[in-house]
Amino acid sequence: MKKQEVKIESVSEMNEYLQRSGLRYFVFGKDCEVTGGLYIVRCCSHENSEFLIGIISEGHGLKPEFKCMKDNLLIGFNREIKIVDSNGNYKTITANSLFYEFIEGVAPGEMIAVFELEMICFSLQGNKKWVHYTDSITDYNLIDKDKMHITTDEGEEIISLRTGNETLPNTEKEAGYQ
């Protein structure tokens, strides 16, 4: 799937653009209390099916992330993830905190979404594999293919990207979190 994104200035401009396009469209984030960034994503599948997605993000300053994986478009914004397939069908995964970014998972067809207070590993079909809850995440980085070092406002931890469980460092390098 291919995507092209455009930032829009107002909800009325977004609605007018979507309605005049003549394409099938969806709008996600309509329930925002405070509107922040507004985006339109044009999606084109390998079968030349085309549709538009309007995204209304909250006023917290975090830009949504749009990631193409296989025949899916992943959208992370506000407190949720949308997984949109090439036919325009979608699944929603919700979280308890604000979305930060996507990281590819350990297994093929898996993704990890980093949120302010949690990490969620999920399949492209929308099934959660695991959820790791933590204090407010201030930094994170991969140690190797299947471990991540997380720094929170309360301390540091290492988690397994296979299970989401906290794990002990295997090496001095991991113990030093370098």
Tens digits of residue pLDDT in 66-86: 998 888 999 999 999 999 998
C-alpha 86/C-alpha 70 separation (Å) is 9
In whole angstroms, give the CA distance from residue 143 to residue 162. 13
Cα→Cα distances 58→8, 12, 20, 146, Å:
14, 16, 25, 32
Helix, strand, coil percentages for the chain (3-state, nearest 5): 10, 55, 35
Q: Does domain 96-178 have CATH number 2.40.10.480?
A: yes
pLDDT at 119: 97
Closest CA to 52 of 79, 84, 82, 18: 18
**Rounded to 5°, angle at Cα 106 from 102 and 107:** 110
Q: What is the spatial distance between Cα 88 and Cα 144, in angstroms, rounded to a whole number?
A: 35
Q: Which residues pair with 41 in a beta bridge?
A: 5, 53
For position 171, what pLDDT does the model report? 53
Q: Is the pLDDT of residue 150 over 80?
A: yes
Compute φ and ψ for 151, nearest 5 degrees. -105, 130
Q: Report which DSSP code applies to 161.
A: T
Chain segment 97-119, per-residue pLDDT in tens: 999 999 988 888 899 999 999 99
What is the DSSP pairing of strand 137-144 with strand 128-133? unpaired
> Where do the CATH 2.40.10.480 domains begin and end in the chain?
96-178
Quote the tokens at residue 18.
């979507």
Tokens of 169: 């460092």
